[in-house]
Amino acid sequence: MSVEQEERAIRCLVAKVGLDGHDRGAHVIARAFRDAGFEVVYSGLHRAPEDIVQAAVQEDVDVLGISILSGAHNTLVPKVIEGLKEYDAFEDTLILVGGIIPDDDETELKELGVAEVFGPGTPMEETIEFIRNNVPERA
């Protein structure tokens, strides 16, 4: 019945978790997402998993991009996923991980519910395309 025009935007949270001060990549990604027309919330550095969960839930993001270069992904990512489940926000959030992730770990993360892992050198367009094609449909 609404005659108003719907104004949907893809919302992303770009998150840095744990003791990892390398955020150049996260900044570059955030800007690329912005230029792709997404609305990007950046978490800031050194966030605990529960902070990320809080942000993802409150901001109701479609996409959660976690950037980890510290090697602690096997500890931190599961905690984030657990938290999202707790708030009933896991199902319709597309979870991406960027950083240096060994192949074995990648498989494991994907089993946990990470949609894709993007390593160093991934072209920006590839990530953006992936999001456009896989962003969860929300009725």
Partner 1 sequence: MDGPQRDGSAAERTPELSDRDAELVEELLAGSHRALARVITRIEDRAAGHRAIVSALHGHTGGADVIGITGSPGAGKSTLVDKLAAAYRERGDTVGVVGVDPSSPYTGGAVLGDRIRMGSNVGDMDVFFRSMSARGQLGGLSMATADAVKALDAFGKDVVVIETVGAGQNEVDVVRTADTVAVLVQPGSGDDVQTLKAGILEIGDVFVVNKADMDGAERTLAELEEMVHRREGPTTGLDTGHHGFDAPEHPDDPTPSDGEAASGDAADASGDDAPGWTPEVLRTVANTGEGVDELIAAFDAHAAHLRESGEIEATKRRRYAEEIRTLVRSDVGALAAEEIERRGGIDRLAEAVRRRETDPYSVAAEVVAPIVDCVETDRE
Give the 3-state secondary structure of residue 1.
Answer: coil
Give the 3-state secondary structure of residue 78.
Answer: helix
Residues that bind partner 1 (CB under 8 A): 1-9, 11, 30-31, 33-44, 47-48, 50-51, 54-55, 57-60, 87-89, 139
* Nearer to partner 1 (CB atom), residue 111 or residue 139: 139
* Nearer to partner 1 (CB atom), residue 8 or residue 103: 8
Q: Rounded to the nearest 5°, which phi and psi values hold at 2?
A: -70, 130
* Nearer to partner 1 (CB atom), residue 34 or residue 119: 34
| Dihedral of the alpha carbons of 127, 43, 93, 109, in degrees to the nearest 10 | 70
Contacts of 43 (CB under 8 A, 6+ apart): 13, 14, 15, 16, 51, 52, 55
| CB 58, min distance to partner 1, A | 6
| CB 4, min distance to partner 1, A | 5
The three-point CA angle 29-131-3 to 5° equals: 110
* Nearer to partner 1 (CB atom), residue 59 or residue 82: 59
| CB 80, min distance to partner 1, A | 13
| CB 1, min distance to partner 1, A | 7
**Amino acid, single-letter form, for residue 50:** E
